[in-house]
Amino acid sequence: MSHARSFYTDLSPDTATVAAGRPEWEQGEPVNPPVLFSSTFISRGVPGETEASYSRYDNPSNHPTEQVIGILEGGPNDAVLFASGMAAIDAAFSLVPMGGRVVMPSHAYNGTGALARELAAQGRIRLSALPIDRTEEVVGALAGGDGSAPAAMLWIETPTNPLLEIADGPALIKAAHEVGAIVAVDNTLATPLGQRPLDWGADVVVHSASKCLGGHSDLILGAVVAAATDHDTALRDFRRIRGATPSAFDGFLLLRGLRTLALRTERSNASAATLARRLESHAAVETVIHPSLTSHPGHGVAKAQMTGFGCVISIELAGGAQAADVVAAQTKSWAPATSLGGVESMLERRRRWPGEFIDVPESLIRLSVGIENVDDLWADLDQALTRAASA
């Protein structure tokens, strides 16, 4: 890259996301890194440690993208890019020793919950799932006071998807380290511009880059940033052997998206906070969940550990699941689709998925606020909610 890595880590994150991951500033060289569409590279004899040889082992085309994410998270290592968020999560779980106990949120992303339950059914891990915002209970579960061994891993997701519970990151991480557990934090909803779990002391940070980092709903990717070199090496080995290495084209799209992360995040976070406040006084809405609201039980913790409250709002409708389905059928600006963090606003009733946790209310709609004009978004939402109330 054009400057030493430390040059970028000293920059503000919004500058680093633009500046990092670029070629050397040599006369005639491109400003953007070239995208290398090659599965294999000229290689004679024993390839050197950092030498490109075969793109499943390590795709050199994605190094600039990996550098940007690693620097944004404040990591000493670059990110390890994976073919999806779930592949990244699978890799992070591989850091748990055989039979080790994982303490995790009972309302983690439903895919994370499904994977953890499958690993537990296979005997690969043991599982203690509980609400991650109940700090004292989580600390108790880490120690294993009920006769079970201390936890081997603490899995944190904060805010959780879609209930937006807030975990007390620094307090839980301290307690986990006291019992020798590795801490992984899924930072998908907040983004590294909203919170930096490695600064709290976390060992690895996990992302679904399919969401806010990519930001355009056009790719599926995941990333893990590890604080320790041995974890970083283990994650790279896992990716190489399992073949969860992403393509050069997806890596390019992600880098392209990352360049505008700060602008997109600023706009969508601000609009989300505005819409959350307006939704609180809408007659069709029973509950509004957004960490920016003083009515959110985790607002104080969120304020202390986050620099941005995120683009996701969850609401519960007074009219139940039926009313929620009417809203999803009546919006014209909000795309009725799953996923979040794109430039285009989206919403969905989460319990339409059979795999969603039973604790997620039937009437809950998850809204992902994009970068459109906030008053257009409000007008569309207002008319759909009003129709739902009278349906």
Which lies closer to ligand PLP via its Cβ, residue 100 or residue 222?
Answer: 222
Choices 33-41, 83-91, 223-231, 247-255 (CB under 6 A): range interacting with ligand PLP: 83-91
Is residue 174 annotated as a catalytic residue, yes or no? no
The active-site residue out of 90, 186, 250, 325 is 186
Q: How far is the CB of 59 from ligand PLP (least distance, A)?
A: 17
By CB under 6 A, tell whether 86 contacts ligand PLP. Answer: yes
- The string of DSSP letters for 201-222 reads T-SEEEEETTTTTT-SS----E
Which lies closer to ligand PLP via its Cβ, residue 59 or residue 330?
Answer: 59
Which lies closer to ligand PLP via its Cβ, residue 344 or residue 380?
Answer: 344
Q: Which of 13, 21, 60, 222 binds ligand PLP (CB under 6 A)?
A: 222
Choices 58-66, 78-86, 230-238, 366-374 (CB under 6 A): range interacting with ligand PLP: 78-86
By CB under 6 A, tell whether 161 contacts ligand PLP. Answer: yes
By CB under 6 A, tell whether 188 contacts ligand PLP. Answer: yes
Q: Which of 85, 100, 105, 197 binds ligand PLP (CB under 6 A)?
A: 85
Q: How far is the CB of 205 from ligand PLP (least distance, A)?
A: 12
Element housing 254 (H / E) = helix 248-258
Q: How far is the CB of 357 from ligand PLP (least distance, A)?
A: 13
**What size, in residues, is the chain?**
391
Q: Which of 109, 155, 238, 252 binds ligand PLP (CB under 6 A)?
A: 109
CA-CA distance, 115 to 285, in Å (whole number)? 33
Burial 356-370 (b: 16+ CB within 10 A, else e): bbeebbbbbbbbbbb
- The string of DSSP letters for 168-182 reads -HHHHHHHHHHTT-E
> Per-residue x/- mask for ligand PLP, residues 141 to 160, rule CB under 6 A?
----------------x---
Q: Which of 220, 228, 321, 343 binds ligand PLP (CB under 6 A)?
A: 220
- Taking alpha carbons only, the member of 224, 300, 298, 310 closest to residue 267 is 310
Q: Which of 17, 62, 191, 208 binds ligand PLP (CB under 6 A)?
A: 208
Q: Which of 186, 203, 232, 316 binds ligand PLP (CB under 6 A)?
A: 186
By CB under 6 A, tell whether 111 contacts ligand PLP. Answer: yes
Which lies closer to ligand PLP via its Cβ, residue 254 or residue 388?
Answer: 254
Q: Which of 22, 101, 196, 211 binds ligand PLP (CB under 6 A)?
A: 211
Is residue 186 annotated as a catalytic residue, yes or no? yes
Q: Which of 62, 84, 158, 330 binds ligand PLP (CB under 6 A)?
A: 84
Which lies closer to ligand PLP via its Cβ, residue 17 or residue 208?
Answer: 208
Q: Is-contact 54 38, C-beta < 8 A?
A: no
CA-CA distance, 351 to 338, in Å (whole number)? 11
The active-site residue out of 211, 236, 264, 366 is 211
Choices 117-125, 172-180, 184-192, 234-242 (CB under 6 A): range interacting with ligand PLP: 184-192
Burial class of residue 266 in the structure, from the number of CB atoms within 10 Å of its CB (0-12 exposed, 13-18 middle, 19+ buried): middle
Q: Helix, strand or coil for residue 232?
A: helix
- The position carrying tokens 């995208």 is 35
Is residue 352 annotated as a catalytic residue, yes or no? no
Residue 188 gets which letter from DSSP? T
- Taking alpha carbons only, the member of 201, 129, 212 closest to residue 169 is 201
Question: Which segments within the chain are labelled E, that is strand?
Answer: 80-82, 101-105, 126-130, 153-157, 182-186, 204-208, 222-226, 285-289, 312-317, 335-336, 346-349, 364-368
Report how many residues bind ligand PLP under the rule CB under 6 A: 16
268's CB contacts (< 8 A; 6+ apart) are 311, 369, 370, 371
Is residue 359 annotated as a catalytic residue, yes or no? no
CA-CA distance, 208 to 223, in Å (whole number)? 7
Choices 168-176, 181-189, 327-335, 346-354 (CB under 6 A): range interacting with ligand PLP: 181-189
Using the Cα atoms of residue 18, residue 251, residue 60 and residue 155 in order, give the sign of their dihedral: positive
Using the Cα atoms of residue 202, residue 208, residue 212 and residue 215 in order, give the sign of their dihedral: positive
Catalytic residues: 56, 109, 186, 211
Residues that bind ligand PLP (CB under 6 A): 84-86, 109, 111-112, 157, 161, 186, 188-189, 208, 210-211, 220, 222
